[in-house]
Amino acid sequence: CVTALISASLSLAADLPLREVIDAQIRQAWDREKITPSAPSTDAEFIRRVSLDIIGVIPTYDETVAFLG
């Protein structure tokens, strides 16, 4: 099964940009696991999530304004 996935990925990679190959692999995994992706976030939601994930706190008002600016 892993060999087939690698083979399919290599043939895709020859024709598509890497970003599209990775997206296709993620979509396959989501389909296999019956996961529905969430809707895209707003820029304000994005900066909050990324800040929490990377440094563990929400961004300050000034950081948020600078990002959204």
pLDDT digits (tens, 9 = 90+) for 29-52: 999 999 998 899 999 999 999 999
The answer to whether 12 touches 21, Cβ cutoff 8 Å, is yes
Give the pLDDT band of residue 24 (cuts 50, 70, 90): very high
- pTM, rounded to two decimals: 0.54
DSSP 44-60: HHHHHHHHHHHHSSPPP
Q: Can you give the pLDDT at residue 8?
A: 64
Q: For the residues 13-41, what does the mean pLDDT come to?
A: 91
**Calpha distance 35→29 (Å, rounded):** 8
